Amino acid sequence: MLHQIINEMKTIYKIIIVTFLVVGYTCHLNAQNSNYPEIGKSVPDFVLRDIDNYSRKNISSETLKGKFVILYFWSRFCSSAVSSLPKVDKLYKQFKDSVDIVLVGGESADVNDKYMLPGQKTGMDNLKILYDRIRKKEHMRIPIAFSPELFQRFIPPGEGVPHVIWIDNKGVVRAVTSSIDPGKIQAFIKNRYFEFRDHSYATKNIKGKHSYDRQKPYLVDGNGGKSTDFLYRSLLSKYKLGMPDMPNIPLGIGLVCDDNGFYPKGRLEGISRLSRLYKLAYLGYWHPRGMADTSEIDKHYNRVLLEVKDSTPFTSYDFEDRKHMYCYSLIVPPGKATRMYLMEVMQRDLKNYFGYHASVEWRKLPYWKITATEQTKRKLKAKGGVYSYQGDNFTVLGYRNVSADKYFSSLLYLVKTKELPIINETGIEGNIDIKRTDVALWDFEDIKRVLQKQGFSIKKAEKEFKVVVISD
């Protein structure tokens, strides 16, 4: 009997040992086979097939060893990702002898049409059609592959595009970023460190990492960072690398003066560059959609006027590296949450810390003026029919039975924040028809060419604008 019990115990012991080894080995495999690239570790095995403009049609993580490689993932969900493709192509042409830059187009597994811009439909065929238009328009030669499988493997849930993975000549991931520029590439190919905002999955899941909750005050009880991460309390802090992602500061102060269920009343906070803070403090908004009265938009200048010796704090900002970016948090009792009071407090805060003098003035300033002859108005006058939009938001645009304002808004949406004010002074009151036209919506020169071809005139002019003037 005792002998039988001993044998049974030995059997159970063997089962436990084998189970322990299998579980341990499985955990080890799971740890080794993580889908997401980790900085400082070898890139997970992958294969890219049917690559255009490359020496091979198919490549793998193994065949790329010995080369510096940058994988630039993009999709149609982000207009800046699409409009940045020509810039990435130029970087490829500049550095192609030193680094392989490869575009990887894809879509998320859970994507559906509601996430698309007007006129877009899901599907890789549609993505390829869009890219082909951009490629021809910009004469692009950069290698490209379309792989929703790798897109979904390498981009963590909730992470946007561009998603850029930097792999050194030993096959090790050196950075995961959302942008690419010449300085970073030069440091990368020389195996030198460069600063970047870490977009890797591992960083987003560090145990104990600070996170941000919109319903709690910033930097209180660890919400968004340490309680000592501030320069001035109302609260002003630098937005540094390593801090958690935060939303932009509200488009307008009026959004925090009411109980709207999204912004807590009396709590104005978010990240911003300096010029936006000054526009918010002195005009009450930094984006037209935050204006109290949008009918006044053409009377307001779309940028601040700088009369300072050193303009770099305003002009040399970087959302990726967080250079000259700030976190601002102003919390007042709900009873004091008025537009005037919040603006006054904000003005004092900016004066106390930065020391600039700021005022709102009327100045005669340059802008782009769009006009149309009577002949053009007659030619474009809508011929009736149901309103329709024909375009892809990037390379093609056309309308039937649309207002001139809506047409210009669609035509200029990617460039209007980068250029001088562009104002519709055509005087067109009724709707118009615009033939489907090829146009690079990220390229202002191409937009001007199209406007002139359609019969519009777009020229620089001057007139009085309301503008924030900042001086030493």
pLDDT tens digits, one per residue of 376-429? 999 999 999 999 999 999 999 999 999 999 999 999 999 998 999 999 999 999
Q: Is the pLDDT of residue 63 over 80?
A: yes
Give the range among 128-142, 157-171, 206-220 with minimum mean pLDDT: 206-220
State the pLDDT confidence band at 139, using cuts at 50, 70 and 90.
very high
State the pLDDT confidence band at 447, using cuts at 50, 70 and 90.
very high
Quote the pLDDT of residue 119. 63
Give the range among 38-42, 293-297, 329-333 with minimum mean pLDDT: 293-297
Taking the CA atoms of residue 268, residue 270, residue 276 and residue 281 in that order, the dihedral angle to the nearest 10 degrees is 20
Q: Residue 234: name the closest of 350, 351, 332, 329 by CA.
A: 329
Relative orientation angle of helices 339-354 and 274-283, to the nearest 10 degrees: 140
Q: Is the pLDDT of residue 17 over 80?
A: no
Quote the pLDDT of residue 28. 34
How far apart are the C-alpha atoms of 403 and 387, rounded to whole Å? 10
388-426: string of b/e by CB count within 10 Å (b at 16+)? ebebbbbbbbbbbebbbeebbebbbebbbeeeebbbbeb
pLDDT tens figures, 211-255: 788 888 888 888 888 887 877 679 999 999 988 889 999 999 999
Quote the pLDDT of residue 9. 46
* One-letter identity of residue 115: Y
Q: Is the pLDDT of residue 347 over 90?
A: yes
Predicted TM-score (pTM) of the model is 0.80
Quote the pLDDT of residue 15. 38
Q: Residue 147: name the closest of 90, 109, 97 by CA.
A: 109
Cβ atoms of 127 and 105 closer than 8 Å: yes
CA 25 to chain centre: 41
